[in-house]
């Protein structure tokens, strides 16, 4: 289906962007700490922020991969909780969403 091919392309694009982002983040974390203590403190704070960003990117990558998997299985666009179709507007906003708006609001996310 043409519509799904477009979604697949945008998901793959998204995955590549996220991989890039993650590579940059993890590269920055590996930078050696500066000898100056004050610099170290700032660096440590930055590492925490980068860790958070890295985890967020990893979670997003996982969700995009699962969406691609659902696309392969022909389950894309179906809520993973109640099985009802996810609205087109929601899929447009979040192409990798796995829950309909009703279940997502009940799950608190």
Closest CA to 12 of 52, 53, 67, 51: 67
Out of 50, 53, 56, 81, which residue is the one contacting Zn ion (CB under 5 A)? Answer: 81
What are the structure tokens assigned to 91, written together?
């899929």
Smaller CB separation from Zn ion, 54 or 98 = 98
Contact between 15 and Zn ion (CB under 5 A)?
no
Distance CA 73, CA 76 (A): 8
Smaller CB separation from Zn ion, 64 or 79 = 79
Q: Which residues bind Zn ion (CB under 5 A)?
A: 79, 81-82, 100, 103
């Amino acid at each position: 289906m043409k519509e799904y091919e477009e979604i697949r392309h945008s998901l793959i694009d998204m995955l590549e962007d996220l991989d890039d982002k993650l590579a940059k983040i993890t590269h920055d974390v590996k930078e050696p700490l500066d000898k100056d203590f004050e610099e170290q403190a700032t660096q440590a704070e930055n590492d925490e922020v980068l860790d958070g960003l890295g985890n967020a990117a990893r979670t997003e990558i996982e969700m995009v991969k699962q969406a691609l998997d659902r696309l392969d299985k022909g389950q894309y666009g179906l809520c993973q909780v109640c099985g009802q179709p996810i609205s087109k507007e929601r899929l447009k906003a979040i192409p990798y969403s796995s829950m309909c708006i009703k279940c997502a609001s009940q799950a608190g996310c």
